[in-house]
Amino acid sequence: MFSFENIYTASDRIKDVIHVTPVMTSSYIDSLCDMNVYFKCEHLQKTGSFKARGALNAITHSSGNFGQALAWAAKSHNIPCVVVAPNNAPMSKLNAMRDYGANVVLCEPKDREMVCNNLRDTGLHTEMVDPFDDYRVMAGQVIYHFIK
């Protein structure tokens, strides 16, 4: 279940390994929207996206940012990492995953979940975490200091 407690716990767990990124505002954008709009500069985060926040303790499928974030998180904790990626993923993303130490397993795009499940079933990896729909990933990606 997704809850404020999950957000706090995830934030506390990752606070020593991620950047505290700035929050910016724009009076021009505020006037266009007729409300206050805040921009969290997660492009300054490790791996260049907010995905680093939710990438701890996972095996996943990804063609980009989450795979890169998972590889970074694993390297930060000196643990092995496997990212299942579609064979049509951008080479720059695949190279970035490998540069962080990931073992990148390529497959047909339609087979990503099956390949992840097969790897998980070998017992060599933890559990499959969906990069989009997993509450643990969502809790890690919410910026606690931004909502408190």
Tell me the pLDDT tens digit for each residue of 94-115.
999 999 998 899 999 999 888 8
What does the block give as tokens for 19? Answer: 């950047």
31 has a pLDDT exceeding 80: yes
Distance CA 98, CA 104 (A): 7
Dihedral sign, Cα of residue 124, residue 126, residue 105, residue 72: negative
Q: What's the pTM?
A: 0.60
What does the block give as tokens for 58? Answer: 């996972």
pLDDT band at 48 (very low <50, low <70, confident <90, very high): confident
33 has a pLDDT exceeding 80: yes
Bridging pattern class, strands 103-107 and 82-86 = parallel
pLDDT in the model for residue 51: 65
Domain range 4-18+52-142, its CATH number among 3.40.50.1100, 3.90.1200.10, 1.10.10.10, 2.40.50.100: 3.40.50.1100
Q: What is the mean pLDDT of the chain?
A: 80
Residues assigned a catalytic role: 51, 63
Q: Residue 140 in contact with residue 55, Cβ under 8 Å? A: yes
124 has a pLDDT exceeding 60: no
pLDDT in the model for residue 120: 74
Which is higher by pLDDT, 133 or 109?
109
Q: DSSP for 109-145, please give it.
A: GGGHHHHHHHHHHTTSS--B--TTT-HHHHHHHS-HH
